[in-house]
Structure 1
């Protein structure tokens, strides 16, 4: 398969790599890693995909593999493989991920915890915030200033029907996650029902960053009219200052 596990540039110092799909609730989900080269030459691997030597070699030509980042509680499975190969790298934990890994019997050692604002290691390159408030889902989002790319994980899914088995397509449509109009999955949306104010504040902050592209872990990247697509992706939740 061409282009599998190979870097695709998205902008200055930012790439994506699409990996093999994984089964989650018996549904195949494609995997995607976002790679950012920081100003000091270190690499930030967001949601690392399955380790393979060919990909690792390609990454080494870009810089030193330094940050292995779990952006939410279900995106961590391959961090330990990368950490084993690159012992000098730091593994970053998102909220609730340690508990999830323990429950799943996955051995992974996290070195540091992601906070609500960018760590000094990458504050010059990235903005970040934790989208709190859901009983089901908490996610750390990142904005790469240089390329104006917003990096989301599961807050919006925009899955091409071509990648889904026939029986899943009507379910994906009902859940609101089919491209080209993919949105926040309906279960995540309902889990924020008591905390829409927190979600609204998070959306407002993301729009203030003025993203031009939005990367998603699952499905087609939002490349045009990014602010408008972001609002639609948050199911037309009005940002702060735009009426409630």
Structure 2
């Protein structure tokens, strides 16, 4: 099976600055970039999350894992474009569309329409969230603490519990010890956000290099941190070498150390 051609469609060069509103995008867009064997990252356009009576912009990122049987597993799919579709198809068969939490689902419907045979996997509460936002999306199966047979030998997973707002399903690619997170750590680089947004990012605690869960999400764990600490203990036991984030700069070295640092607000278990 061929690898995607990075020059197979229009798009900015990696060094070119591209801004979408107050967010400087990670470029090139819609190009699967190899992270490690059988793992690719795809940076997409800005997504806007409805919150506090307005919309908050975020850069978006999808992770693609090619399973041993050649099937592709897509974590937090980004907006589907024709160039991206061609490049993804060069990697394998799109088989799994994964919503890691209830605010990472918006583009699954488009991918499902393009690949009807793919299975869409629902995170806790995502169906209700989509309905409340008027977004039509259907799911085939539920995500839980136990990996399903389709990827049980290749990916670890658990539901990170304790938040009164949102539970996130976290994953570890076992072969590369790559931890995949959506919103439990956000890490915005100062030169990738406008000055007007930078103060909010700093206040929320998400400014690189000290990325972590945003302040509002951390507050949702009050009174239930013991539950979350048990989940964190399991994640630390995985000893990830790198952490891939959906929003902002990833931590590609000293993954376990960065995980412990990012969750110091929780009280790291011994």
Q: TM-score range by the shorter chain?
A: over 0.9
Counterparts of 2:224 and 2:108, CA distance in 1: 31
1:27 aligns with one of 56, 66, 80: 56
The within-5 A match list for 1:103-182 is 103-182=132-211
- Is structure 2 residue 130 aligned with structure 1 residue 101? yes
Could you tell me the TM-score, scaled by structure 2's length?
A: 0.87
Matched residue pairs, number?
A: 241
Is residue 2:106 matched to residue 1:77? yes
Query: How far apart are residue 170 of structure 1 and its match?
Result: 1.1
Q: Secondary structure at the match of 1:56?
A: helix
For 1:109 and 1:138, the matched residues in 2 are separated by 19
Post-superposition Cα deviations, 1:51-108, rounded to whole Å, max 9, x if no partner, equal 0111111111111100000000000000010100101000110000000000100000
Q: Which residue of 2 aligns with 1:205?
A: 234
- My pick for the range that moved more, 38-47 or 156-165, is 156-165
SS in 1 for 2:171: strand
Distance (Å, rounded) in 2 between the aligned partners of 1:100 and 1:15: 28
Q: Is the 8 A contact 1:183 1:235 kept in 2?
A: no
Q: TM-score, normalised by structure 1?
A: 0.96
Residue 92 in structure 1 maps to residue 121 in structure 2: yes
Q: CA deviation at 1:35?
A: 0.3
- Structure 1: tracts of 5 or more residues without a match: none
Name the CA distance, whole Å, in 2 between partners of 1:34 and 1:17: 6
> What is the alpha-carbon distance in structure 2 between the residues aligned to residue 159 and residue 235 of structure 1?
18
How large is the Cα RMSD of the aligned pairs?
A: 1.1
State the SS of the aligned residue for 1:122: coil
Aligned to 2:29: 4
Contact 1:159 1:177 in 2 (8 A): yes
Q: Distance in 2 between matches of 1:206 and 1:32?
A: 21
Which position in structure 2 is the counterpart of 1:16? 41
Q: Which of 231, 249, 252 lines up with 1:223 in the alignment? A: 252
Deviation at residue 236 of structure 1 after TM alignment: 4.7
CA distance in 1, matches of 2:57, 2:109: 22
Structure 1 distance, partners of 2:42, 2:265, is 30
| 5+ long unaligned stretches in structure 2 | 1-11, 14-27
Matching residue within 38, 45, 49 for 2:67: 38
Residue of structure 2 equivalent to 1:63: 92
Preserved contact between residue 19 and residue 30 of structure 1 (Cα < 8 Å): yes
SS at match of 1:35: strand
Question: 2:124 is paired with a residue of what secondary structure?
Answer: coil
* Mapped partners of 1:235, 1:165: distance in 2: 28
